[in-house]
Chains A and B, each alone.
Chain A
Amino acid sequence: MSDAAHDVLLAVEQLKTHFLTDEGVVQAVDGASLEVRRGRTLCVVGESGCGKSIMARSILNVVDRPGRIVDGRILFRPEAGTEIDLAALPPHGQEIRSIRGRDITMIFQEPMTALSPLYTIGNQIIETIRLHLPVSKRQAREIALDALGKVGIPRPHQMIDAYSFELSGGMRQRVMIAMALVCKPKLLIADEPTTALDVTTQANILDLIGGLQRDMGMSVMFITHDLGVVAEIADDVAVMYLGQVVERGPAAQIFDDPRHPYTRALLRSVPEPSLKRRSRLAAIRGSVPHPLHRPSGCLFRDRCDFAVPGLCDRTVPILIGGAHAAACHAYGSRPDRPLLTAADAIHEAGAPAPKAVGEPILVVEDLKVHFPIRKGFFGRAVGNIRAVDGVSLDVRAGETLALVGESGSGKTTLGHAIIRLLDPTAGSVRYRSSDAGEVDLATLPPGAMKPLWREIRMVFQDPNSSLNPRLRVAELIGESLKLAGIASGDALEPQVRELLERVGLRPEYLNRYPHAFSGGQRQRIGIARALAPQPRLIIADEAVSALDVSVQAQILNLLSDLQAEYELTYIFISHDLGVVSHISDRVAVMYAGRLVELAATADLFTRPLHPYTEALLSAVLPPRPRPADARRRILLDGAVADPASQPVGCPFAPRCRYRQDVCGRVAPPLLRQPDGRLAACHFAETLSLAGLDAPINSTACAHQDTQ
């Protein structure tokens, strides 16, 4: 065996995993080839529906029925000289089962459901140990306790008997990692393990995996759609599209010199958290086709800017190149790729002119939303969850105000309270309506809110569940038009067609049901529905979070265009600071139901005034490789403060690395700082906090590093 081959722990060769369904054969993985090197991290990237997860599950042969591996080899070389073809082993046999969980282990995206809630976490970890190691129950428990300690679970002796539902998402993912690493595997396959987590938690989990990998010398196959994560951790990258690997190579080369048009397009479509905002994003046309409707020739040609008629639609490109290989005709036949470089110029469009921002149209004052905690036989209220606890802010006409914060910070509740999907407990929301003058939305009787729902609209996160599956597009959008009294009867259809066209959908789609659309298209329908009554203010609640980067870019561009065209005002609720820096004029940072900082986007990103903002910014992963010393992150322990307890002092103090005695005693009010910005920190004026990409003050970091 050559050195190069010895260096490879796992080689997937021409893997084909197909699903035999009633509609036909779905070629979920169709000839994918990649390699995982010993001790290295391979990131597998691509949009959803490209077969990344199925490929990963194929390696352990745990694909759900009716899927099965139909061709190809999966060569696993646990030691020098041994080579096992995992694809050839019987899927329920002893041989593959002894590799699963011991030599190759997996962790998954949903830490909420990847553990069974019916057994303690200890039970599930000990089970794994005893499947593979000849140890007694007592010994296994010791090993499990040790593993829980290693992944940073506090009080392992207590937590080992806890159930998964008693833990937060980040803690559950740590438990999953402990379970995956307990038998010291050679390869860890991580399938989007941080996608469902907050950025701050993601940073912790990535550090944890990286540290354990160094200690144990294992290899990692990390599946993700987040190019920021790839840039942060990858040694090698494999880009998948429609079941095939279209480009693979060392991470640095993939980022600096992407060869496949799909890789290039993916990289360009990420909203880079940068300070020059508002350039249009380079979206990829259309979306990933269903694997049943694969195009002929090159799989990507439908969405490719460089497709050559007569070539790309006829001939299937093959992976060409050595360590850095791509499957593209343009690359194969023209090493200098004149086509590709010329087209890049299109995307270097300048920033648009600054917008005219007017008077406040919405003034929120001391808004509170409390939910009673009920207990006992008669449901007495024994306390309050202070989801929103005294928030004041204004929204100016024509601007985009972003609300950011971890989950549990109250940003969605605030949005819902403004539009009265929830009734506020106290405070006022004064809205300057187009005709009726100023109204307080917080105290309006429920019936009186109705006409205002034409002017204030909402776009929801999940485009799958926010559209009634039994209504056609014409009805979904027409309903809003009718309710607003804009059109009815025969006048309805032309209006709906116009709206569809405006959001970039073909008007012929009028009579389709929502299930016939992709996620991005459904979000366009949701936006069209929000636009129908000609609103003035749109509250977008994580409107692009569920979408792939390429589609996310399309929707962000659309939102910008619509804002310019209809003079819309947006409240943009998001946890993704990259997206926020791209779309918003001002940013409001929320923590535990309170506003901790509010500033113009550029100010906030260059010089945050609140330590929480600094920590959030440090967790942002830009989609390009950074030198190791720039990767320093502020690790936030634990979760957002429990909103049920009434904190004394600053709610962020327990997690703050600058805390002083006063922070635990006195809650800092949201004060106007000398430069006109708002921040709720006792030391806002004296602290010098790091913005995006600035080196983090390491002395104050010291106590974080020791953990």
Chain B
Amino acid sequence: MAGYILKRILYMIPTLLAISIVAFTIINLPPGDYVDRLVIEAKNRGESMTPEAIDGLRQLYGLNKPIVEQYVSWMSGIVLRGDFGISYKWNLPVWALLGERLGLTVALSVATLLFIWTVAIPIGVLSAVRQYSVWDYVFTFISFVGLAIPNFLLALGLMYISFKYFGQSVGSLLSPEYLDAPWSLAKVLDLLSHLWVPMTVLGAAGTAELVRTLRANLLDEIKKPYVATARTKGMPEVWMLIKYPLRHALNPFVSSQNEIFVNLVSGGTIVSVVLGLQTIGPLLLDAFRSQDMFLAGSSILILGALAVIGTMLSDIMLAWLDPRIRFN
């Protein structure tokens, strides 16, 4: 098992390297750079910049160097000093911008994951064991509704309801007074009180999907001979269900959990914008729009790393759950 984990970690290195190259290439693809953007903005304000000033800026930001050199200096900064570069727009180190948001993004991801598991697993089991019962039909209906509603719409709906009927603003992950405050117990409690809305919104579709998958998997597993074997041993039904078919049914679903971080960025960005969440998604969107190269590149790199780590974690969990994978 230790060898397996080590191997998985080693496999991550080339993958991350490839992601960094792709990320850097993509943000360099559009014509023009950050300085061009500044020139245009200056022009829009009716000012003009001298070619010397423009060259000076390029030199300052290192944009006049060949692209390979820019990539190497960016990467070496990350690897050697943990320096992700400077955000041109915010004039701050990228890490200062991303650091806290990264933590919040991961917290939200994990909370959403836990939410999905705790809600979906009992419902999925109930739907499968009592197939075609009233409960099965009710949950099937709710699941399909959950799958069908776009989550930003759900976010808007929840915001409207809680604002109108409870008089509570549910946007953001933190109350305004805690936004720049240092971390304290009060801030954590505040975060928890805000977390439930984005968690529900982001988890709704995932929950519905998991209920459907788990139900289908379980229905297949319950017919397998090893279930009959377990029953004829005289095992109590609930224990038997958990130990045998449920554990088998979890496999395909554990292997799909690698997407959790990725989903939060791709699908979650819109929700984050709507709800005003302090996650990486909205910052990334903004960085793209202003061609803030290092911020965009670093965000992509970090999200890529999260995706790779997510995949690794789900693979390790799968190997832990399923000896057939360990033995391969």
Contact = CB atoms under 8 A, between A and B. Distances in A.
Partners in one complex: yes
A108 B228 contact: yes
B164 interface: no
A97 B235 contact: yes
Interface string A103-124: 0011011100111111110000
B131 A176 contact: no
Nearest to A125: B233
Given A92-B237, A116-B244, A163-B327, A106 B225 contact: no
A128 B233 contact: yes
Interface magnitude class on chain B: 20 to 34
Contacts of B226: 113-116
Contacts of A166: 327
Interface string B220-246: 001111101111111111000001100
Interface in B131-171: 131
Contacts of A57: 228
Given A115-B226, A116-B226, A116-B244, A62 B322 contact: no
B37 interface: no
A229 interface: no
Nearest to A132: B234
A60 interface: yes
Interface in A115-142: 115-120, 127-128, 131-132
A65 B222 CA distance: 10
Given A92-B237, A97-B236, A165-B324, A113 B231 contact: no
B225 A113 contact: yes
Given A116-B226, A118-B248, A106 B232 contact: yes
Contact of A118 (B228, B231, B247): B247
B35 interface: no
Contacts of A108: 225, 228-229
Contacts of B229: 106, 108, 114-115, 176, 179
A163 B324 contact: yes
B32 interface: no
Contact of B234 (A64, A98, A117, A163): A98
For the complex, would chain B's binding face be called helix, strand, loop or mixed by DSSP majority?
helix
A114 B229 CA distance: 6
A66 to B, nearest CB: 9
B136 to A, nearest CB: 12
A700 to B, nearest CB: 39
Nearest to B247: A118
B13 to A, nearest CB: 13
A197 to B, nearest CB: 15
A508 B222 CA distance: 39
Interface string B242-273: 01100110000000000000000000000000
A173 to B, nearest CB: 12
B106 interface: no
User: Which of B223, B231, B234, B324 gathers most chain A CB within 10 Å?
Assistant: B234
Nearest to B222: A64
Contacts of B237: 92
A105 B235 CA distance: 12
B283 to A, nearest CB: 37
Nearest to A129: B233
A57 B228 CA distance: 9
Interface string A43-67: 0000000000000010010101100
User: Which of B131, B230, B248, B324 gathers most chain A CB within 10 Å?
Assistant: B230
Contacts of B222: 64
Nearest to B237: A92
A100 interface: yes
A484 interface: no
A120 B323 CA distance: 9
B215 to A, nearest CB: 14
Given A57-B228, A114-B226, A99 B324 contact: no
B220 to A, nearest CB: 12
A102 interface: yes
Contacts of A115: 226, 229
B137 to A, nearest CB: 15
A209 to B, nearest CB: 17
Given A116-B248, A118-B321, A100 B234 contact: yes
Contacts of A65: 131
Interface in A50-98: 57, 60, 62, 64-65, 92, 97-98
A105 B247 CA distance: 24
Given A65-B131, A100-B231, A118-B323, A110 B225 contact: yes
User: Which of B222, B229, B235, B327 gathers most chain A CB within 10 Å?
Assistant: B229
7 contacts: A97-B234, A101-B233, A108-B228, A116-B226, A117-B322, A163-B324, A165-B327
Given A100-B233, A106-B232, A116-B244, 20 more contacts: A60-B231, A62-B228, A65-B131, A100-B234, A101-B234, A101-B235, A106-B228, A108-B228, A114-B228, A117-B322, A117-B323, A117-B324, A118-B248, A118-B324, A119-B243, A127-B233, A127-B235, A132-B234, A163-B323, A176-B229
